[in-house]
Chains A and B, each alone.
Chain A
Amino acid sequence: MTRVGLIRLAVIVAMIGALELACQTGLIRHQTIIAPSEMATSLYALLASGAINADIERTLGIIVVVIAVSIVLGFALGLVIHALPRLREALDPLFATYYAVPIFIFYPVLIAIFGLSPIPIVLIGVATAVVAMIIATLNGLDRVPRVLTKVARVHRLDAVTTAMTLQLPAAAPYLFTGVKLSVSYGFIAVIAAEFILSPAGLGRDIADAYSDFNNRRMYALILFLLIIATVVNTVLHMLDVRWAKRRSGGRT
């Protein structure tokens, strides 16, 4: 591990340690936050009992669908919009202000249309994540050197082969930024949507535990989501670093 990584780990451990100490000594009331060690044992017990297996399956399943749809749809739309400069000119202001609009206000409308099924959650998740992927695709394609288009023509490549073998890899670093944002937005949107109104899922479970003053269960579920999000983001970060290293010849 690098020196910076060690410092980062030490900061996290120190913060968890401080929270543990504050909770154990009563500096922070048990009704407000439980000790991290208690969160961990509660989570272990929950996982071992299998009580939340169905919720985990449902929530993570929806998140995977949201992320996959957002990435594929965002990339495809980005390609089309990039190829149509006038359409792009018309849409650019919308993209620039998209995240200034609270997309969640449309969630009740979606529930009214599709009912209490996973569909409104998927739609709100995709609506949240897809624009990040579109913007990243446009940024990436803008930065593909023009000479590569000439190289494609010299090699007599058709449009699809040019997109897949030259434009896609050339734009990859920017696309990966879009992927990372889509993953983050996907997680946030799905959990939040479940939290607001859903018959099942981890977000619903956290909301129920909160309403029931069941701190042990609530913090155990929060810890579980934190671990999952951290692992996913760490894997994405490692891939990003590895590819960046390769492109820069080992100089990052």
Chain B
Amino acid sequence: MNAAPRDIHAQLSAVIRVFPGAGNQPPVDALGPIDLDLRKGEFFAVVGPSGCGKSTFLEVLAGLQRPTAGTVTFEGKPVNGEVAEGIGVVFQEDASFPWLTVWDNAAFGLRRSGVAEAEIRRRVDDAIAFMGLKDFARAYPSQLSGGMRQRVCIARTLVLQPRLILLDEPFGALDAQTRLLMGDEVLRLWRSTGATVLLITHALDEAAMLADRVGAMSARPGRFIEIIDTGWPRERDSKIVAEPAFGEITGRLWDRLRGESLKALGHAGMTAAG
């Protein structure tokens, strides 16, 4: 987990997130303590049982939520409840804007950051072509499939040239085959941009296929119970699902997470038996 300071892109130290209880309810310990060094240019995936705090972890790292305790830094600067320049986030929900065309969706962020029109045109055209949406540039999101709408959101993030891309279960609503193909596109994007990518997913196979390292999270409050190095080469695609090592990684992840998943379901008693 430890990397040389110059290789560290983002860092979480003793991060805890507690949600205050509603009404007379007790506070909810959602996350932590979490310690993690994200290395520059790596692909890191987080898996864990439902409700373990994966999305909270991403939002704390992004600056969308403040940690209750601990520190978060991005490129050496503290992240504290505000999204820093250089961080891009793609959400699980469809966040495309139905009133804008695909092209205008992708250009949204650039138009609000004072970038020259010619540069906007160049970057948006590139991003749309990269995401395979060139023929749909003038279409509205409602004319696209769920996978294509998610690609629009990725294109909107991509044009801002983020150095840290956070993906919060972006393929959660897609079918298995589309997810594999989208995974290939994310790998292609990761290689070509050189950005650090953090992917939150509930799919063990997706994490095992895409990431350099996979963090397995415990049931709530979410902590990393193991971080597995996949050892994949940088040049890879979804064909690695046929490799024996893929099955080993997925099996190891499930071995670590089965008990946690049962705990999350409220079947703690079954853990020992299982």
B-binding residues in A (CB < 8 A): 145, 147-148, 150-151, 153-157, 161, 165-166, 169-170, 172, 246-251
The stretch of B93-101, B171-179, B203-211 that contacts the partner chain: B93-101
**A251, B144: Cα distance in complex, Å:** 12
- B142 lies within 8 A of chain A by Cβ: yes
Chain A residues within 8 Å of B100, by CB: 169
The contact sample of 24 A-B pairs, CB cut-off 8 A, is A145-B93, A145-B95, A150-B64, A150-B89, A150-B91, A153-B63, A153-B82, A154-B62, A154-B64, A154-B83, A154-B87, A154-B88, A155-B109, A156-B82, A156-B83, A157-B112, A161-B112, A169-B100, A170-B97, A170-B99, A247-B142, A248-B142, A249-B142, A249-B144
Say whether B64 contacts A153, CB under 8 Å.
Answer: yes
Say whether B91 contacts A151, CB under 8 Å.
Answer: yes
Q: Give the 8 A-B CB pairs with smallest separation, nearest first.
A: A249-B142, A249-B143, A147-B93, A169-B99, A147-B95, A154-B89, A247-B98, A155-B109
Say whether A165 contacts B112, CB under 8 Å.
Answer: yes
- B130 lies within 8 A of chain A by Cβ: no
**B79-120 residues at the A interface, CB under 8 angstroms:** 82-83, 85, 87-89, 91, 93-95, 97-100, 108-109, 112
**A161, B82: Cα distance in complex, Å:** 16
Say whether B62 contacts A169, CB under 8 Å.
Answer: no
Partner of B97 from A169, A248, A249, A250 at Cβ < 8 Å: A169
**A247, B101: Cα distance in complex, Å:** 10
Expressed in whole angstroms, the minimum distance between the Cβ of A55 and any Cβ of chain B is 40
Chain B residues within 8 Å of A147, by CB: 91, 93-95
Say whether B95 contacts A148, CB under 8 Å.
Answer: yes
**A250, B82: Cα distance in complex, Å:** 38
- B140 lies within 8 A of chain A by Cβ: yes
Say whether A153 contacts B83, CB under 8 Å.
Answer: yes
Partner of B99 from A247, A249, A251 at Cβ < 8 Å: A247
Q: How large is the interface on B (under 10, 10 to 19, 20 to 34, 35 or more residues)?
A: 20 to 34
A-binding residues in B (CB < 8 A): 59, 62-64, 82-83, 85, 87-89, 91, 93-95, 97-100, 108-109, 112, 139-144
**A127, B139: Cα distance in complex, Å:** 41
For the A-B complex with A150-B64, A157-B112, A249-B143 known, give 5 more contacts whose Cβ atoms are closer than 8 Å: A147-B93, A147-B94, A153-B83, A156-B85, A161-B112
Chain B residues within 8 Å of A156, by CB: 82-83, 85
Expressed in whole angstroms, the minimum distance between the Cβ of A42 and any Cβ of chain B is 46
Say whether B140 contacts A247, CB under 8 Å.
Answer: yes
**A205, B97: Cα distance in complex, Å:** 49
**A170, B140: Cα distance in complex, Å:** 14
Say whether A166 contacts B64, CB under 8 Å.
Answer: no
**A169, B85: Cα distance in complex, Å:** 25
Chain B residues within 8 Å of A150, by CB: 59, 64, 89, 91, 95
Residue of B nearest to A168 (CB): B99
Interface centre among B88, B93, B94, B100 (most CB of A within 10 A): B93
Expressed in whole angstroms, the minimum distance between the Cβ of B97 and any Cβ of chain A is 7
Chain B residues within 8 Å of A157, by CB: 112
A250-B64 CB under 8 A given contacts A154-B83, A154-B87? no
Residue of B nearest to A169 (CB): B99
**A156, B98: Cα distance in complex, Å:** 21
Chain A residues within 8 Å of B139, by CB: 249
**A156, B109: Cα distance in complex, Å:** 9
Chain A residues within 8 Å of B112, by CB: 155, 157, 161, 165
Chain A residues within 8 Å of B140, by CB: 246-247, 249
